[in-house]
Amino acid sequence: MAWLLALPKFGIVLLLAALLSLLWLLQNNEAEEDRTALIKDVLWLEQNLRFHLSGNEEQLQQLAADMVSLPEQKKIFRLRAAHLLKNNPELSQLLWFDAQRKVVDALPTSTLPDEAIAAFGPPVTDKAFDMASRLGKRVYSEPFFLEGNRAFIELMVPVFDGRELKGMLVAVYPIETLLNNLVPWWFAEKYKVVIVDDNDIQYATKTHIEGSGIQSYEIPLDPPGYGMKLRVTSYKTADNSLQRLLTVAIVILAAGVFWSLWLVRDLMQKRSRAEEALRAEHAFRTSMENSLTVGMRARDLSGCITYVNPAFCKMTGFSSKELVDKSPPMPYWVPEQIDETYAIHQSVLDGNAPPDGFEITFKRKNGERFNALIYEARLIDGNGQHTGWMASVLDITERKRAEELARQQQEQLQFTSRLVTMGEMASTLAHELNQPLAAIASYNAGCLNLLERDGCAPQDIRPALEKISVQAQRAGKIIRRVHDFVRKSEPKRAPCSLGDVIEDCLGFVEPDARKHQIRIECEVPHHLPPIPADRLMLEQVLLNLIRNGMEAMASTPAADRVIRIVTEISAAELRISVSDCGCGITPEVRTKLFTAFFTTKPEGMGVGLSICRSIIEFHRGRLWAEDNPQSPTGTGTIFIFTLPLEDA
């Protein structure tokens, strides 16, 4: 039975020997075919070179004949020579010599050419000139080297009028340029082309490949002759490497056959373990998917739903069977917002989904609406192809409610802050209000006394009544200003004058400023443009900043207690600064200055500056603090805020 087991091995050995023999025969046959193809290509190249050189010879011969028979020889030479140089880039220069070997004209140079470039200095060119003159026909010069070891040949075409030599047309060929222009690119991709002579001197070469040649072929290059030969060498191609790779692959394959039976058993065991691991991985991913509270939804490139997780089904109230393979419009879209939702859907499919997500309203199966925050990402398969879109869906209904509640609380806090501010100023305002009331009472008593006198005329009491009216208006203005400031209202942006806002604020703080011996300097440009803002909010910001500055100057000498309010206008915004000469702000405090409930005052609430920043940001501006470099005390702070200039 041992020989029966050996038969498959013996058959594999015979198969391997047959394949190697076949590869050897194919390689020899391919080498012979390459040799034949090389010879054909060399003959074609030699004919192509001969054809181009012969064509140039005929054109120069025709030019020589026309220069004798036609007038304006120089014009004819320049016209024909320019045409030849343009259509034959292998030519570097055309020259016209007279019979005494002096240059009559040359192209492309319009002046007398350099002797080296004209290539008329070496003895080989003189020899060719003499031979062409004696024979009366075109003659090529021997190859020679000039300028940077470049090789040249020249074609001499005599110009005869009858039997009299009138001149000589000379065409200069750089051999390297000749080879570069007349050997096609595909030829250089396959072969290395070299022009040599009998002494194996290399004049020019062209190739796009590197490596060692496997076979070459030479053919005489006539014209120009002089022992010049065209040597073409073929190189090893990628096919040879492929054959060697195939040979190695056959050997490896044969060895692999002997080992395959053992591998089959090992692979079966690995497959069993892999299937078990796959089942465990699937169970793990399923449990992880079921534990997610974030809704996951996958769609293909056309917008059809391909997958939803249990969290998304729970969020919308629809089952997976009701959603998978569903195309727009989706059952959880809100009917009254169908056009807007479809536009967002199309924007996502076009790849324009916002990277930070977008909010949208969805409908549950029972008709209940909820707010959803959606993040869209590209769905990439295992081959790296974009196959659709994966969305993470968050139910933010409760969060939106919390944000609305926080907004309402913020508004209530702002209102409370205004009440606190007004409470702190109550005594000063009461004193300010007491003055017009006392004046009214005094003028009223005077009027009564006048009325009790005999002969009292109405014009006697008229001035007192006018003063009573002025003081009553003053008191009413103070009361109305306080009422407007403390009334509760929704934030509303409307066109308002910043100058009027500053004037009302100064009316509040002037009594307190006089009480504490503080000067308030105000610089407001005339004709400020109206800005869209909530007037009460801006008054609250300015009043808070001014009162903070006044409190900061409690220990400042009376002569230096100055608050400056400066308004500057630019092309895009208004810049308002409130500066004081107080104690200043340390860097440690400045980092926490606008944090809610942070304060340096013993009895402060710590919400004033936080509310101020919120108000300015609501108006799309900025609020910050800087040191006051112009303070006479060397300390002080400048609070600066900006308000954008928008269409009111």
For residue 423, is pLDDT > 50? yes
pLDDT value of residue 113: 45
CATH code, 25-180: 3.30.450.20
**Residue 18 identity:** A
Report the percent of the chain where pLDDT is more than 70.
Answer: 76
Q: Give the range among 108-112, 421-425, 502-506, 590-594 with minimum mean pLDDT.
A: 421-425
Mean predicted confidence (pLDDT) in 292-316: 82
| CA-to-CA separations, 622 to 12, 122, 215, 644, in angstroms, rounded | 85, 85, 81, 9
CATH code, 294-395: 3.30.450.20
Mean predicted confidence (pLDDT) in 518-545: 84
Query: Check: CATH 3.30.565.10 for 493-648?
Result: yes
pLDDT value of residue 526: 81
pLDDT value of residue 566: 92
Q: Give the range among 33-47, 210-224, 283-297, 494-508 with minimum mean pLDDT.
A: 283-297
Mean predicted confidence (pLDDT) in 281-286: 74
Beta-bridge partner residues of 165: 160
**pLDDT tens digits along 87-138:** 888 888 888 888 888 888 888 864 444 444 444 456 667 788 888 888 888 8
State the Cα–Cα distance between residues 232 and 621, nearest whole angstrom: 79
Mean predicted confidence (pLDDT) in 450-476: 67
More confident residue, 138 or 409: 138
Residue 632's nearest CA partner among 517, 578, 553, 551 is 553
pLDDT value of residue 11: 63
Biggest alpha carbon–alpha carbon distance for the chain:
161
Cβ pair 579, 633 in contact under 8 A: no
Q: Give the range among 405-409, 449-453, 508-512 with minimum mean pLDDT.
A: 405-409
What SS3 class is residue 203? strand
Cβ pair 211, 240 in contact under 8 A: no
pLDDT value of residue 577: 92
pLDDT value of residue 603: 55
Q: Give the range among 148-162, 174-188, 460-474, 606-620 with minimum mean pLDDT.
A: 460-474
Q: Give the range among 36-45, 126-135, 163-172, 407-416 with minimum mean pLDDT.
A: 407-416
pLDDT class of 565 with cuts at 50, 70, 90? very high
pLDDT class of 617 with cuts at 50, 70, 90? confident
More confident residue, 474 or 24: 24
- Taking each helix axis from N to C end, the angle separating 73-87 and 2-69, rounded to the nearest 10 degrees, works out to 170
Half-sphere exposure of 225 toward its Cβ, with a 13 Å CA cutoff?
A: 7
In whole numbers, what is the pLDDT of the chain averaged over residues?
A: 78
For residue 428, is pLDDT > 60? no
Out of 22-31, 83-92, 589-598, give the one with best mean pLDDT: 83-92
pLDDT value of residue 114: 45
State the Cα–Cα distance between residues 570 and 632, nearest whole angstrom: 28
Cis bond leading into 525, ω under 30°?
Answer: no
pLDDT class of 365 with cuts at 50, 70, 90? confident
Torsion sign, CA atoms 488, 493, 495, 499: positive
What SS3 class is residue 619? coil
- Does 294-395 match 25-180 at the fold level? yes
pLDDT value of residue 578: 92
- Domain locations in the chain as residue ranges: 25-180, 294-395, 401-488, 493-648
Mean predicted confidence (pLDDT) in 572-579: 90
pLDDT value of residue 228: 87
pLDDT value of residue 12: 66
More confident residue, 271 or 255: 271
Cβ pair 158, 137 in contact under 8 A: yes
Out of 15-24, 385-394, 402-411, give the one with best mean pLDDT: 385-394
Cβ pair 322, 308 in contact under 8 A: no
pLDDT value of residue 76: 87
pLDDT value of residue 319: 83
Q: Give the range among 313-317, 478-482, 594-598 with minimum mean pLDDT.
A: 478-482
pLDDT class of 405 with cuts at 50, 70, 90? confident
More confident residue, 459 or 340: 340
pLDDT value of residue 119: 44
State the Cα–Cα distance between residues 399 and 373, nearest whole angstrom: 11
Cis bond leading into 329, ω under 30°?
Answer: yes
